[in-house]
Chain A
Amino acid sequence: MPDGSVNILIAGEAGQGLVTVGDLLTKSLVRSGYLVHVTQDYHSRVRGGHNSFAIRAATHPVEAPVDEIDILVALNQESIDLHRSQVKDGGLLLLGESLDLDGECVIRIPFKELAPRPIFYNVAALGALASVIGLDREAPASLLKKTFAKKGEEIVRQNLEVLEKAYDWATGQGRCRLAPLPPVEHPGTRLMLTGNQAIALGAMAAGVKFCSFYPMTPSTTVALTLAAHGPKLGIMVEQAEDEIAAMNMGLGAAFAGARTIVPTSGGGFALMVEALSLAGMIEQPIVVALIQRPGPATGLPTRTEQGDLNLALYAGHGDFPRAIFAPGTVEDFFRLTIQAFGQAEKWQSPAFVLGDQYLADSYRSVAPFDLDAVPEIVGPDLSDDNADGYERYAVTESGVSPRRIPGFGKSLVLADSDEHTPDGHITEDLAVRNTMVEKRLRKGCGLYADALPPEYSGDGTPDLLLVNWGTSRGAVLEAAAELRAKGAKVGCLHFSQVWPLRPETFLSALQAAKEVVCVEGNATGQFADLLAKAAGVRIGKLVLRYDGLPFTAAYILDKLGSVSETLRCV
């Protein structure tokens, strides 16, 4: 660990407790002040299969997963076969009890000796790992006290005993040539959060009151997080009978005044598309958290991809405006979920938070959010002025009509999926039709003016500009840093809002670079196409990934040597 970081991979079958060990170790690292990056890779099954939990911990910020492993914890033979080649020279192998392997730097954990019953094996593994990486024993100990406090003093005592025994045993084994993690100055309280948990927290901070969903990996944890805190925060979370119901129910709740989020993944969102169009027609603010996984159809249910940009952008029949956010960090999932609610309310349009399995399941250590700094969101018109003359779809210059809530006053609110007059009644008057289409689309100009510019980092006039969006950000930044270390002039242009796009905020950056490459996690370069449409700039060179795994710096650097056109035949 010469650079003050360690990459640990815990691998085994589903049901072997590797996520529990990974969770506990990550929390211990975060509580000790280290910065972490966790990548979970799992098969779409509850038992068996090959699963892994990768923890990259460091004294400095880590932005992406890496392939090389310092410590491999293998709980079955398959894990050894699959990952041994990734272990660095001098790296360590920790094996489950029944496994055997010759070679130096191989340590077999005698679980039966260290723990009285199998239920304690996870804690034994935690103690051994904490010792091997040089973590102070107090960090896991205080975590176990907190975790098991509700189960009584006896349970806490037994767990601490196993932890101590395993820690001491592992200390006696040495750590081969591995250096311990250097001490880190404690930065104060840190949260250990995934992207999906950050979406849920952002929604809560934005005042979400309703969430309807149908379970679908990898989006489900957004709803589960809201459900866990819902009773205390007064958030109604309902598992609908299907995604069609989830979206329509969400619209009904939003219409009746509850700020609403609908989390889903690509296949589920495909079922919501008609109701998205309804949101556009009745000008109903609603936020869709679309957590992507590889398609088409069922695809790779538990893997990652950035393949649903076009789906989010073009979903819904007819013309209506929308905003699409694609956060690149856990902090941005929080911040931009709030921004999505703000834009949805302000422009009475649907807004998307595009995530993907990689960051949805990836734990990071983040500083607690400043809840007092959460921007005030413009809500509905709670006045009841001139109730008799109230018209839900009054034609205005901005396109935004005062939105009142049924039952909150004497004003009557009528929403209609048919083309409608300003008071919401069905019409086939074609002049009214034109007026209403134009009114709705004027809100798109407001969304355009509010759109966030991309984030530029790196050299002023780079030889190479790496364009990216959403969760590819971290790996791109690391790849750029490695290239710069070799003397190259490299810039990164990260888009955290992918629609609307304002070319004046990024055209000069695209033009200043000698070479531009777009890095995105799909097979056709969907964002590169969108840039061509929105800004008239065609990026011919693409680094794409569509094998279901997240980008790493090593992958990007490898592909940069042989960037190719997309797979499309045009």
Chain B
Amino acid sequence: MDSKEFGEFVTAWCPGCGNFAILKTLKAALAGLGIPPHRLLMVSGIGQAAKTPHYLRCNGFNGLHGRSLPPAQGAKLANGELTVVAVSGDGCSYGEGGNHFLAAMRRNVDITLLAHDNQIYGLTKGQASPTTMQGQVTKAQPLGAPSNPFNPVAVAIAMKVGFVARGFAGDTEQLGDLMQQAIRHKGFSLVDILQPCVSFNKVNTYAWYKERVYRLGEDHDPTDWSAAMHKAMEFGDRIPTGVLFREEKPDFAARFPFLATGPLGRQPVDKAALREAMESYS
């Protein structure tokens, strides 16, 4: 399958934005997996990354800020035959949608979250996000961002999410592989994707990441929870990318046998079961 299947669109992103590389890599990854556009549903919230469903030829649900995960899970439960990928930024996924992030990890519905993590709010022009480093000066935080940054991969590993990875927009070869592994994983999977914001984050620039990011080697065992946790906490002079943690376990739908009969929207009302339900009140 050719990645041209997913179309070419004019975007509203700034020249040099990490989103371009991520989008191109995503299209190639999807084509590599052989997922046809009509079998794919991209769900997003609001932000620059959240515009992604508009720049891919496929089904899309561009909902509310912070709310990419709830409709993504609802859609996947309604139709297990869809490949459902949620895509949004760090503010949307970890800030406004923080509670949904925690719940999605516990629920383990078979969807993938691609979190574009540029450590800043881009669409609203440069306020601190949940992953902005403590002390970083912005117009909204002139004395420096006061709060500790959120570590999404460490939290996900603490919750034993079945697939936890960190990628980098500047290493598209590895990123494409991580996306494919995440989508193939049965259950909730997270790829936190580091990317520069050329307009509003003057600290975590392309060069800043390039200097620090390194690929996890063969010596890292992603099934070793303690080692994964250790690597997840590494974020400073050195930042590891790759599959941090993985664990196979039954997904949410496995507990509901009737979901295996096909999309809920194609199931007729079972009149006999309905009558029985009504008569249980007599």
Q: Which residue of A lies closest to B279 (CB)?
A: A368
Chain B 68-107 against A: per-residue CB contact (8 Å), 1 yes, 0 no?
Answer: 0111111111110110000000000000000110110000
- Given A252-B71, A252-B72, verify A425-B54 contact (CB < 8 Å): yes
Q: Which residues of chain B from 243 to 274 have a CB within 8 Å of any chain A CB?
A: 256-259, 261, 263-271, 273-274
- Number of B interface residues in the complex (CB < 8 A): 58
Tell me, yes or no, whether B20 is within 8 Å of chain A by CB. Answer: no
Cβ-neighbour of B78 out of A197, A210, A424 (below 8 A): A210
Q: Which residue of B lies closest to A247 (CB)?
A: B70
**Bound: A412/B38 CA distance, A:** 6
Tell me, yes or no, whether A233 is within 8 Å of chain B by CB. Answer: yes
Q: Chain A residues near B39: list those with CB within 8 A.
A: 407
Q: Which residues of chain A from 251 to 296 have a CB within 8 Å of any chain B CB?
A: 251-260, 274-275, 278, 282
Q: Which residue of B lies closest to A406 (CB)?
A: B59
Pair B282/A236 contact, Cβ less than 8 Å: no
- Given A189-B282, A371-B271, A414-B53, verify A234-B78 contact (CB < 8 Å): no
Q: Chain A residues near B231: list those with CB within 8 A.
A: none
Cβ-neighbour of B270 out of A210, A233, A236, A253 (below 8 A): A233
- Given A241-B99, A245-B103, A417-B62, verify A191-B281 contact (CB < 8 Å): yes
Cβ-neighbour of B64 out of A197, A240, A241, A275 (below 8 A): A275
**Chain B interface main SS type:** helix
Pair A233/B269 contact, Cβ less than 8 Å: yes
Tell me, yes or no, whether A244 is within 8 Å of chain B by CB. Answer: yes
Interface centre among B75, B258, B267 (most CB of A within 10 A): B75
**Bound: A363/B213 CA distance, A:** 65
Chain B 39-71 against A: per-residue CB contact (8 Å), 1 yes, 0 no?
Answer: 101010010000101100111111110010111
Q: Which residues of chain B from 146 to 188 have a CB within 8 Å of any chain A CB?
A: none
Q: Chain B residues near A275: list those with CB within 8 A.
A: 64, 67
Pair A252/B75 contact, Cβ less than 8 Å: yes
**Bound: A443/B248 CA distance, A:** 48
Pair B61/A252 contact, Cβ less than 8 Å: yes
Q: Chain A residues near B261: list those with CB within 8 A.
A: 234
Pair B75/A253 contact, Cβ less than 8 Å: yes
Q: Which residue of B lies closest to A369 (CB)?
A: B278
B276 to chain A, nearest CB (A): 7
**Bound: A452/B76 CA distance, A:** 36
Q: Chain B residues near A513: list those with CB within 8 A.
A: none
**Bound: A407/B61 CA distance, A:** 13
Pair A240/B264 contact, Cβ less than 8 Å: no
Tell me, yes or no, whether B277 is within 8 Å of chain A by CB. Answer: yes
Q: Chain A residues near B278: list those with CB within 8 A.
A: 191, 201, 368-369, 371
Pair A407/B77 contact, Cβ less than 8 Å: no
A184 to chain B, nearest CB (A): 17
Pair A417/B269 contact, Cβ less than 8 Å: no
Q: Which residue of A lies closest to B275 (CB)?
A: A371
Pair A191/B282 contact, Cβ less than 8 Å: yes
Pair A252/B274 contact, Cβ less than 8 Å: no
Q: Which residues of chain A from 346 to 387 have a CB within 8 Å of any chain B CB?
A: 368-369, 371, 380, 387
Q: Which residue of A lies closest to B38 (CB)?
A: A410
Pair B79/A257 contact, Cβ less than 8 Å: yes
Tell me, yes or no, whether B135 is within 8 Å of chain A by CB. Answer: no
Pair A253/B41 contact, Cβ less than 8 Å: no
Tell me, yes or no, whether B37 is within 8 Å of chain A by CB. Answer: yes
Q: Chain B residues near A405: list those with CB within 8 A.
A: 79, 263, 265
**Bound: A418/B267 CA distance, A:** 32
Q: Which residues of chain A from 198 to 252 have a CB within 8 Å of any chain B CB?
A: 201, 204-205, 207, 209-210, 212, 229, 231-234, 236, 238, 240-242, 244-246, 248-252
- Given A240-B103, A408-B263, verify A192-B54 contact (CB < 8 Å): no
Q: Which residues of chain A from 391 to 449 have a CB within 8 Å of any chain B CB?
A: 405-418, 424-426
Pair A249/B258 contact, Cβ less than 8 Å: no
Pair B60/A415 contact, Cβ less than 8 Å: yes
Q: Chain B residues near A257: list those with CB within 8 A.
A: 78-79, 263-266
- Given A250-B74, A275-B67, A380-B265, verify A256-B62 contact (CB < 8 Å): no
Pair B59/A412 contact, Cβ less than 8 Å: yes
- Number of A interface residues in the complex (CB < 8 A): 66
Pair A241/B61 contact, Cβ less than 8 Å: no
**Bound: A416/B63 CA distance, A:** 6
Q: Chain A residues near B281: list those with CB within 8 A.
A: 191-193, 197, 201
Q: Which residue of B lies closest to A384 (CB)?
A: B38
Pair A406/B265 contact, Cβ less than 8 Å: no
**Bound: A242/B257 CA distance, A:** 25
Pair A409/B38 contact, Cβ less than 8 Å: yes
- Given A252-B78, A371-B274, verify A426-B62 contact (CB < 8 Å): yes
Tell me, yes or no, whether A190 is within 8 Å of chain B by CB. Answer: yes
**Bound: A407/B267 CA distance, A:** 15
Cβ-neighbour of B277 out of A209, A233, A278 (below 8 A): A233
B57 to chain A, nearest CB (A): 7
Q: Chain A residues near B58: list those with CB within 8 A.
A: 412
Q: Which residue of A lies closest to B60 (CB)?
A: A414
Q: Chain B residues near A282: list those with CB within 8 A.
A: 61, 63
Cβ-neighbour of A407 out of B258, B263, B275, B277 (below 8 A): B263
Q: Which residue of A lies closest to B42 (CB)?
A: A414
**Bound: A210/B268 CA distance, A:** 13
Q: Which residue of B lies closest to A418 (CB)?
A: B62
**Bound: A525/B279 CA distance, A:** 39
B99 to chain A, nearest CB (A): 5
Pair B269/A207 contact, Cβ less than 8 Å: yes
**Bound: A76/B282 CA distance, A:** 32
Q: Which residue of A lies closest to B256 (CB)?
A: A236
Q: Chain B residues near A425: list those with CB within 8 A.
A: 54
**Bound: A546/B134 CA distance, A:** 51
A-B contact pairs, 20 of them (CB 8 A): A31-B282, A201-B278, A207-B269, A231-B258, A233-B269, A236-B78, A244-B70, A255-B61, A256-B78, A256-B265, A257-B266, A274-B64, A368-B279, A406-B82, A407-B41, A408-B263, A412-B37, A412-B38, A412-B60, A414-B60
- Beyond A245-B100, A258-B265, list 5 extra A-B contacts (CB 8 Å): A204-B269, A252-B78, A255-B74, A257-B263, A275-B64
> What are the nearest 7 A-B pairs in CB distance?
A257-B265, A252-B71, A252-B74, A406-B59, A253-B74, A241-B103, A248-B70
Residues on A lying within 8 angstroms of B by beta carbon are: 31, 189-193, 197, 201, 204-205, 207, 209-210, 212, 229, 231-234, 236, 238, 240-242, 244-246, 248-260, 274-275, 278, 282, 368-369, 371, 380, 387, 405-418, 424-426
